[in-house]
Amino acid sequence: MLNGVNLNLLERRDPAVYGGLSLPELEGKIREWASQLGCDVLCRQTNSEGEYVDWCQELGESADGLVVNAGAWTHYSYAIRDALELARGPVVEVHLSDIDNREEWRRHSVLADVAAHRVIGKGPDGYREALEFLARA
């Protein structure tokens, strides 16, 4: 579970758009859902694009699948896209908000073509859907 830029301040962002949880609260829900599905989960968040790329490379080699919310990097980071392309397991792209119906610049994802599944605009429950997808994969 790789969360990107600005998700460390999730509780300070518009709750109508982002769900109103803090990152630790969201990670608690993710761990609970993973446990219910019989999955092990590792949650990480960074504001450093290079560190995010390193994690994509590292976990792409060892994890059975990746759930990624790259935040704003989704829209322009080909470095993250290229690292995810090398993952041995499926990649699920998650966005709390409905990026397809927001500002024009948010509507394009450079990660979409390497994602086996995308979950957009379902708030925190989108992470559950992502885990369910990986549990079935």
Catalytic residue ranges: 18, 95
Q: What is the DSSP string of 9-71?
A: GGGGS-HHHH-S--HHHHHHHHHHHHHHTT-----EE-S-HHHHHHHHHHHHHH-S-EEEE-G
Tokens representing residue 115 in the block? 């994602």
